[in-house]
């Protein structure tokens, strides 16, 4: 059975990755071709010519105005995927059409809908507004993961691993020591996991970027909208400093750590990461530091999850795991993903 959840929106790319060059990425096992029309709209269609399957992203395939010309025998397709010209005859076969995908550009991401296009409601795309909002500065990237997407979901929903896997970057002892609270909003389809540390050491990631020298109040509020979008609302303030009664929070530093978890295949994943901050907005040194450090942290996760994928791929079916309190959020996410996939609920999903 496939572990990939169909009929869902997935992040396929950053908007900046797609221009007037032919760009291909495999999303949920489907090779998809992306390019921008002359007016700037993003298109998404199958990256396989209907004639002999030549990839339209491969040279010498090319764009000609708002059409893409197959580099093998010249079948030519419009922005909607419909074939508009074939060589040697004027009659174009009725079935000469590339599968096209609903696509939306939002919050700096390009989202595609994988599944039945009739079910593609754009209002269901989860939001990450900070990534393209005035008053925030964002650094971002994407790392390929040779592991199934569910391992990254597990990883991100349990941040106690920061203490061990990311010590010296974002981990301090208090992260693993502090209990979490988990809430599931079944109607909205969101898993929340919170860990609020009243008096914690400030890890280098935040000490260097904010300039705080002493101990901190550190809040980690996770919001995961299966299958694709994860946000960690991170609040950093000098120890004891809390938001005002009216909800304003001028003395804290806010960081929105956003991940888009997009299956490439059953056993590989596009790990999109972004770090948006509401301080030091024009400080390139802070941007460079956060970009380099977050990428390092992501690569620490990638290395661990790549190992884990190789190990569990060789485990006999029905292997046992042992879950504890820190896994509550991850287990809730698994149940929600299993339900979205139309699979058996709760217990069988574990
Ligand atoms: S494979 Fe594309 S035109 Fe023949
Ligand atoms: Fe991690």
Distance from C-alpha of 229 to C-alpha of 225, rounded to nearest angstrom: 5
Q: Which atom number of ligand 1 is nearest to the Cα of residue 71? A: 2
User: Which whole number is the average pLDDT over 298-303?
Assistant: 98
Give the pocket of ligand 1 (CB within 6 Å). Answer: 49, 51-52, 54, 70, 72-75
| d(CA 254, ligand 2 centre) in Å | 19
Q: Which atom number of ligand 1 is nearest to the Cα of residue 73? A: 3
What's 178's DSSP letter? S
Tens digits of residue pLDDT in 304-340: 999 999 999 999 988 889 999 999 999 999 999 999 9
Whole-number mean pLDDT of the chain?
95
Calculate the alpha carbon distances from 218 to 38, 162, 179, 233 in Å: 47, 14, 13, 10
Nearest CA to ligand 1 atom 3: 73
Tens digits of residue pLDDT in 132-143: 999 999 999 999
Tens digits of residue pLDDT in 7-21: 999 999 999 999 999
Nearest CA to ligand 1 atom 1: 52
Tens digits of residue pLDDT in 154-210: 999 999 999 999 999 999 999 999 999 999 999 999 999 999 999 999 999 999 999
Tens digits of residue pLDDT in 25-37: 999 999 999 999 9
Distance from C-alpha of 49 to C-alpha of 56, rounded to nearest angstrom: 6
Ligand in nearest proximity to the CA of 70:
1
| d(CA 179, ligand 2 centre) in Å | 17
Question: pTM (2 decimals)?
Answer: 0.95
User: Which whole number is the average pLDDT over 255-259?
Assistant: 98
User: Which whole number is the average pLDDT over 45-72?
Assistant: 98
């Amino acid at each position: 059975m496939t572990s990939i959840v169909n009929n869902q929106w997935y992040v396929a790319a950053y908007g900046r990755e797609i221009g007037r060059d032919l760009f291909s990425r495999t999303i949920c096992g489907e090779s998809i071709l992306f390019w921008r029309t002359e007016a700037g709209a993003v298109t998404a269609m199958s990256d396989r010519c209907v004639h002999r399957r030549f990839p339209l992203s491969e040279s010498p395939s090319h764009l000609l105005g708002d059409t893409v010309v197959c580099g093998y025998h010249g079948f030519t397709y419009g922005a909607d995927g419909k074939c508009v010209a074939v060589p040697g005859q004027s009659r174009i076969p009725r079935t000469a059409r590339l599968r096209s995908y609903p696509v939306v550009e939002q919050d700096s991401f390009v989202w595609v809908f994988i599944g039945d296009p009739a079910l593609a409601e754009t209002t269901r795309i989860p939001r990450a507004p900070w990534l393209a909002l005035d008053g925030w500065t964002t650094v971002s990237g994407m790392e390929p993961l040779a592991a199934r997407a569910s391992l990254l979901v597990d990883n991100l929903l349990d941040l106690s691993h920061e203490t061990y896997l990311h010590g010296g970057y974002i981990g301090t002892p208090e992260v693993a020591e502090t209990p979490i609270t988990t809430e599931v909003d079944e109607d909205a389809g969101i898993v929340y996991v919170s860990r609020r540390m009243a008096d914690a050491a400030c890890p280098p990631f935040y000490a260097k970027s904010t300039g705080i020298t002493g101990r901190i109040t550190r809040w980690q509020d996770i919001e995961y909208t299966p299958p694709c979008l994860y946000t960690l609302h991170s609040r950093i303030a000098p120890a004891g400093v809390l938001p005002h009664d009216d909800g304003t929070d001028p003395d804290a530093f806010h960081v929105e750590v956003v991940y888009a978890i997009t299956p490439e295949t059953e056993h590989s994943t596009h790990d999109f990461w972004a770090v948006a901050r509401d301080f030091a907005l024009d400080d390139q040194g802070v941007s460079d530091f956060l970009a380099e450090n977050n990428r390092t942290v992501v690569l620490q996760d990638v290395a661990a999850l790549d190992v884990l994928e190789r190990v569990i791929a060789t485990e006999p079916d029905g292997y046992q795991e042992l879950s504890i309190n820190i896994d509550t959020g991850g287990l809730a996410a698994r149940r929600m993903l299993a339900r979205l996939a139309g699979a058996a609920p709760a217990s069988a999903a574990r």
